[in-house]
Amino acid sequence: MTDNTQRFTGRAEDYDLYRQRYPVEEILNRLRAWCSLSPNWLIADIGAGTGMLSEVFLENRNRVIAIEPNLDMRDQMRAAFEHRSQHAPQLEIIDATAEATTLPRASVDMVAAGRAFHWFDKERALAEFRRILSPAGWVTLVAVDRDRNSTDPAFHDQIDSYEHLLASHGADYSRVRSGYRTYDKMDSFFDGELHQAQLPGSRQFDWPTFRGYAQSLSVAPQPSHPGYEAFARELRRHFDTFARAGILTVPTICWITAARFRPQ
């Protein structure tokens, strides 16, 4: 799929239900220490998806502009925040892209992207970030996912099996996997102040949750796809092989980056 903005069409509900939420206090505490994050900052959440990173800043009482080009994701975000009336005045949702946000020059205090930066045209997106940021503004990039590179020997066979499953039955998986390496080389994108943290953890899945999580992945065949039955069969085999007492434990990692551009 060449249009990354459409990769999650038809997956927004599963994404919101089954993707791992961000560790709110861990992120906010680091941003307060690194950037002096304040509730009066205006945040642009770029590639906002269903609003998971927006949630973090709304908890900090920030006003958030959520930029999301995918209609399904925007609709799911609106539905997710409908019942949170305390956040409604603080959240604005805009149909736009990372490369063309439609926001005015020097209009936001922080640009943030959660589990999305690897989808962007990075050269164009970074130029747009520079344009919309205030002169002393920050960029925050956060991603949380399974840890493909865990060194824990207890997970080696499980990681290899799952990687093989996605490479064999997923669409375009090698390109998607390489994109996540972006989070380990942030110093190649920013020429000013840079702070980073990696938080290891784990997540436990029962079968319905693991299946829903897998279906939220952009590489997973959807039920109408001819490869869906083989994917679903191998997914169940993987779960049955590595789950213990009906629970699959998966290593996770959360990347947190805060950076500034050097003044031009």
pLDDT 10s digits, 105-131? 999 999 999 999 999 999 999 999 999
Taking the CA of residue 179 as centre, how many other CA atoms within 13 Å lie in the half-sphere pointing to its CB?
18
Residue with tokens 């970030």: 129
C-beta separation of 215 from 208 below 8 A: no
* pLDDT score for 139: 98
H or E segment and range at residue 214: helix 207-216
Domain housing 59: 4-148+179-203+253-259
- Please determine, for residue 250, whether its predicted confidence score (pLDDT) is greater than 50: yes
- Residue 90 domain-assigned (yes or no): yes
With bands split at pLDDT 50, 70 and 90, how would you rate the model's confidence at 1? very low
Inside any domain, residue 161:
no
Q: What is the CATH number of the domain that holds 126?
A: 3.40.50.150
CA-CA distance, 39 to 30, in Å (whole number)?
Answer: 14
Residue 218 maps to a domain: no
- Confirm whether 220 is domain-assigned: no
Domain count across the chain: 1
Percent of the chain with pLDDT over 90: 80
Among candidates 194, 209, 204, 213, which has minimal Cα distance to 247?
Answer: 204
Assigned domain for 157 exists: no
For residue 213, give the nearest of 243, 235, 246, 181 by alpha carbon.
235
What 3-state DSSP class applies to 85? coil
| Residue predicted with more confidence, 242 or 176 | 242
Instruction: Tell me the per-residue pLDDT of 125-153, one tens digit each, with 9 for 90 and over.
Output: 999 999 999 999 999 999 998 998 888 89
The predicted structure's pLDDT at residue 180 = 63
195-208 average pLDDT score? 96
What pLDDT does 2 receive?
Answer: 55
Query: What is the tens place of the pLDDT at every residue in 164-182?
Result: 999 999 887 877 766 666 7
Q: Of 235, 247, 254, 206, give the one whose Cα is nearest residue 52.
A: 254
* Among 148, 143, 182, CA closest to 164: 148
190 belongs to a structural domain: yes
What DSSP string runs through 124-188?
HHHHHHHHHEEEEEEEEEEEEEE-TT---GGGHHHHHHHHHHHHHHSSSHHHHHHHGGGGG-GGG
Domain contains 155: no
Q: State the pLDDT at residue 87.
A: 63
Query: What mean pLDDT is reported for the chain?
Result: 92
pTM score over 0.85: yes
Q: Give a yes or no: residue 199 inside a domain.
A: yes
